[in-house]
Structure 1
Amino acid sequence: MYIKEFTPLLVVILLLLYLCLVRWRSAKYKGQIGEKCVSSILSTLPSNYYLFNNIYLQNGTHSTQIDHVIVSPYGIFVIETKNYKGWIYGTKHGEYWTQNIYGVRYSLQNPIRQNYVHTRALQELLGVPLDMFIQVVVFMDKAELKGEQNDGVVYLSQLQDFVLSHSVERLTDEEVESFTALLLSSCVRDTNMEKRHILSVQQRIQERQRLIESHVCPRCGGRLIVRYGAYGSFLGCSSFPRCRFTLSLRDS
């Protein structure tokens, strides 16, 4: 009798535990954990490094979400955080990278390309040359980077040393203060911004897919043609080497 009376309660508890597990495993939640780890490390930098976390910028109908930005005398660091595990393969110019977990493969957007888009949005806002920006992609230490070594792609445990290794002053104190103030005033703080950003990204993905299906390069507008490489056939832009867009045919 006692067990029967409490069976509904046990079901509710088990359901809540299951929902908590699903939330824990969700990509969004794992991403937030990764960003908090990076933010915690970056918060220990010297006082002349001005840190911004999870910022949104609006440019017309397009929005940009950037995980972390540091404005410092040694440059403006634009940081993309990836909380993945397993083996990670990818090249600088490839459209997608691959995550391999116990033989199961998943595609993810090229984080270097993602971060470059974020950097250009910041460049347009601040009006400074591209060489003033230092682009960084951070993977958690549980990931294992394989294949081609890409500049500016580091593990979490290497991040602080990587930032501090840039010791040549590029910006004056006045420029650092000016860019910091401009970034503070430009960050969108609307509570609905995340939803609008997600919708904007979905629309861009759909438009990109439409172009690819029409054999149009989504990066430069050139014509996509089938090419053959060491790892099989892929789509490449006819404007190569000016445009280095590639897409594996299994991802298209």
Structure 2
Amino acid sequence: MVALIGMLFVMYILVFGIIIFMNYLDFNDSNYQRASNHTFWQTFFDKGNMGEYNIYRTLEKIKGTKLILTNLYIPKEDGSTTEIDLVMITKYGFFVIESKNYSGWIFGDEKHRNWTQTFPNKKKFKFFNPIWQNKGHIKALQEALDITDESLMQSFIIFSNNCELKKITVTSSNVSVGKRNQLKALLKRELQNTSPKLTTEDIKYYFQILKPFMHADDETKQLHIETIKGKLSKL
């Protein structure tokens, strides 16, 4: 019996090692570390970073001219910052992505301030409408880039595969809500139904403007966290 347990343990370690190794190879094929400043270990063992990385990896595999930014801390008029998880700039415009690593059942309506996360044990938690949240991100992005044309902006709210989107009501044509395993299909649908608006030079120009907002220092991140906590306490 002891020998069997030992063999199973060795097999578990071996399988886990293979998973780590395969993920490491995939990570090295990605530009995510340079974009985010997160190492493989900081990414693989952090749920938030891993979710963001999986989205980034999906964006990298989308065909066509594009540039991707992550963890943008854009200053606002009141002195605070807004954090944008991911932005992909293409000839079709900007795809602004808010990543949500939630589990359970998700209920939400674009018109309601709060959404609900529900678990099988009947526990419920309210969280701020992510569509409204990303709308704020897009507004800050437009101000930073001096863009007034809202048709250039597409809002994507992407949840973890560990949740179930039970009842989500979206009315705006420039908003998409889905799970990570649906992101590729959602992007393809938008790309196929959108006419080109930007040139290759436009993409590079806007990327250079936004690039300095990546890799924020610890002070900026801490101030942002404190601002978010203040807002959450009012929900």
TM-score normalized with structure 1 length: 0.66
Gaps of 5+ in 1: 1-28, 210-251
> Are 2:105 and 1:87 aligned?
yes
User: Are the equivalent residues in 2 in contact too, given 1:79–1:135 (CA < 8 A)?
Assistant: yes
What are the equivalent positions in structure 2 for 1:1-252 lying under 5 Å apart? 29-46=46-63, 48-60=65-77, 61-102=79-120, 103-128=122-147, 129-150=149-170, 151-165=175-189, 166-167=191-192, 168-187=195-214, 189-205=216-232, 209=234
Aligned partner of 2:163: which letter? A
| Largest Rg, 1 or 2 | 1
Cα displacement (A) at 1:204: 4.5
Alpha-carbon distance in 2 for matches of 1:94, 1:119 = 19
Between the aligned partners of 2:118 and 2:150, the Cα distance in structure 1 is 33
- Change in CA separation of 1:133 and 1:192 when aligned onto 2, cut-off 3 Å: same
TM-fit CA distance, 1:45: 2.4
Q: Shift in Å at residue 191 of structure 1?
A: 3.2
Counterpart CA distance in 2 for 1:189 and 1:105 is: 34
For residues 65-103 of structure 1, give each alpha carbon's deviation from its aligned partner in whole angstroms, at most 9, with x where no partner exists.
111001110110000011111110010021110011112
Contact map agreement 2:86 2:96 (CA 8 A) in 1: yes
The Cα of 1:196 is off from its aligned counterpart by 1.5
Distance change >3 Å, CA 99–CA 47, structure 1 → 2: same
CA RMSD of aligned residues (A): 2.1
Q: How many residues align?
A: 181
Question: Which residue of the partner structure matches residue 11 of structure 2?
Answer: none
Shift of 1:149: 3.5
Letter in 1 for 2:161: D
**TM-score scaled to structure 2, two decimals?**
0.70
Structure 1 vs Structure 2: percent identity of aligned residues?
29
Counterpart of 1:124 in 2: which secondary structure? helix
Indicate how the Cα distance of structure 1 residues 191 and 47 shifts in structure 2: closer, same or farther if over 3 A, else same. Answer: farther
Structure 2, gaps ≥5 residues long: 1-45
* SS state at 1:94 partner: coil
SS in 1 for 2:109: coil
Q: Tell me which amino acid in the other structure corresponds to 2:184.
A: Q
How far did 1:194 drift? Answer: 1.1
